[in-house]
């Protein structure tokens, strides 16, 4: 991966996060920070997973000061890298316990894949995962429903697109997730609303 690509991704991810952080800090209750990962840790993870992480995903894990509360629509809290790897292992174990990934008629059934890496979790146990497979969806962010399984339409095309979408939604009052809805995704566009207790909620836009 070229150093220039890493530098551009790092700048874009940091810029979007700084806009999000400024907005949240001025309006929401304080929140603990998710631990960041250094280059050595990321290199070890790439060796373990046998895949190069997308530049924006590397930049995401390197970010310091990321709030660990539920600020990602609709609503997810960022995970630490260690928690993400642990969750991945649990979901892979569950998939393995389910047996073959095809039914009796040879039709593929959804399973959690080794090439998916969680980045955030909802209070109900669903996750946001980044697709590490080669192809059109490489680096895209998907919803992983822990009950229904399977990947639908990407929530966002990349980590950078996710952060940019959130930043624009917060700053302008426009709904987030309009791109996913336009592609036929099941998630409704969401509007940012701060409740009386100082917590961010993402309400369905009508």
- The structural domain count of the chain equals 1
Strands 127-131 and 116-121: antiparallel
Residue 149's pLDDT band (boundaries 50, 70, 90)?
confident
* pLDDT value at residue 146: 87
Tokens of 113: 């894949």
pTM: 0.92
Contacts of 42 (CB under 8 A, 6+ apart): 53, 58, 61, 62, 81
More confident residue, 147 or 7: 147
* Cross-strand bridge partners of residue 127: 121, 144
Instruction: Give the model confidence (pLDDT) of 86-107 as tens digits.
Output: 999 999 999 888 766 665 566 6
Range of the domain at 197: 3-204
* pLDDT value at residue 106: 61
* pLDDT value at residue 4: 60
pLDDT at residue 141 is higher than 80 = yes
Instruction: Give the model confidence (pLDDT) of 7-56 as tens digits.
Output: 788 899 999 999 999 999 999 999 999 999 999 999 999 999 999 999 99
In CATH, what number is assigned to the domain containing residue 47?
Answer: 3.40.1580.10
């Amino acid at each position: 991966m070229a150093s220039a690509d890493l530098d551009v991704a790092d700048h874009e991810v940091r810029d979007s996060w700084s806009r999000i952080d400024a907005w949240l800090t001025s309006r929401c209750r304080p929140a603990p920070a998710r631990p960041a990962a250094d280059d050595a840790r990321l290199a070890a993870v790439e060796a373990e997973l046998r895949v190069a992480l997308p530049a924006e995903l590397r930049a995401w894990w390197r970010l310091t000061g990321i709030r660990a509360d539920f600020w990602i629509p609709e609503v997810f809290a960022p995970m630490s890298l260690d928690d993400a790897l642990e969750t991945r292992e649990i979901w892979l174990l569950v998939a393995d316990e389910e047996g073959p990934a095809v039914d009796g008629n040879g039709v593929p059934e959804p399973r959690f894949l080794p090439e998916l890496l969680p980045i955030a979790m909802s209070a109900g146990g669903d996750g946001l995962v980044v697709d590490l497979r080669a192809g059109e969806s490489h680096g895209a962010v998907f919803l992983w429903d822990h009950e229904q399984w399977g990947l639908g339409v990407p929530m966002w095309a990349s980590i950078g697109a996710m952060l940019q979408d959130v930043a624009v939604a917060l700053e302008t009052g426009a709904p987030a997730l309009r791109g996913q809805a336009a592609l036929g995704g099941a998630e409704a566009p969401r509007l940012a609303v701060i409740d009386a207790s100082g917590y961010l909620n993402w309400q369905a836009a009508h």
